[in-house]
Amino acid sequence: MKHLRIPDVKNKKQQGEKVTMLTAYDFVLARLLDEAGIDILLVGDSLGMVVLGYETTLPVTLEMMIHHSRAVSRGAQRALVVADMPFLTYHISLSEAVQNAGRLIQEGGVAAVKMEGGRTVVDVTRRLVEVGIPVMGHLGLLPQSIHQLGGFRPQARGKAAAQRLLEDAEILEEAGAFAVVLESVPAEVAKRVTARLSIPTIGIGAGPHCDGQVLVSHDAFGLYQASVPPFVKQYVQLGAQLKKAAQTYIADVQAGRFPAQEHCFEGTTEVSSE
């Protein structure tokens, strides 16, 4: 099967086709979502929260991202795999950022990286693109700036903030980003940005006018119940189903219903007399 590539994702906007993206953190989920036909698998640093149980994405390290990226890359046969650059791996110097992004590509097997921020990451975006590493931008609610933002709150609600976000999106496009995630911004702001850019916008809590949509899989499929953002549509309650299945298993073992005859190997009871 042919892998989707960066130009394919960009062409979707030109052809009026929506880009679909979901997060994945391991081989099993990646393979399932890939077989379902998803365009992009994002190894999001949200893994810190929904897989590792931290309260924010800040404790996620490059080593964790490489480890999970490798598993996702092995599961993806068609989807483009993008990995988040974790907190502080692209802020210290350009050379460190190139080295870190390079490890995600070489060791993690991903095709592109995502970084949070607009004008603040323009130099590093340009440098990565120059060396051949595709970059996805991320504007609006920036989870790596959670302490500065004061919580997971919608962004760009005022006129000045909306204008700044629009400028940031243009700056990222000009620096060579191939797509931009817009997180938790008013639908009208996302619509304006989408109309202004020639690269795809991918929304999460940003309304229906973006060129594509992304959700955190554990939110969408009911696996992470700690706090589900209001913009999430839950397509299935896998967590509840899994819990029920585990309770049935426990009851079966306790009552001696499992294993039954069909779960046992056939074999002789005769013992050699030697």
Site for ligand KIV, rule CB under 6 A = 23, 42, 44-46, 84, 181, 183, 204, 214, 216
Q: What's the CA gap between 11 and 212, in Å, rounded?
A: 12
Contact present, 230 and 49 (Cβ < 8 Å): no
DSSP string for 151-214: SS-----SHHHHHHHHHHHHHHHHHT-SEEEEES--HHHHHHHHHH-SSPEEEESS-TTSSEEE
Nearer residue to ligand KIV within complex by CB, 148 or 250: 148
Q: What's the CA gap between 22 and 33, in Å, rounded?
A: 8
The reply to whether 266 belongs to the active site is no
Q: Measuring CA to CA, how many Å separate 169 from each of 64, 89, 94?
A: 29, 21, 21
As measured in angstroms, the least distance from the Cβ of 84 to ligand KIV is: 5
As measured in angstroms, the least distance from the Cβ of 42 to ligand KIV is: 6
Nearer residue to ligand KIV within complex by CB, 210 or 214: 214
Nearer residue to ligand KIV within complex by CB, 146 or 265: 146
Q: What's the CA gap between 134 and 129, in Å, rounded?
A: 6
The single residue of 55, 116, 170, 183 carrying the catalytic annotation is: 183
As measured in angstroms, the least distance from the Cβ of 137 to ligand KIV is: 11
Nearer residue to ligand KIV within complex by CB, 39 or 45: 45
**Residue sitting closest to ligand KIV (CB):** 44
Cite the active site residues. Answer: 183
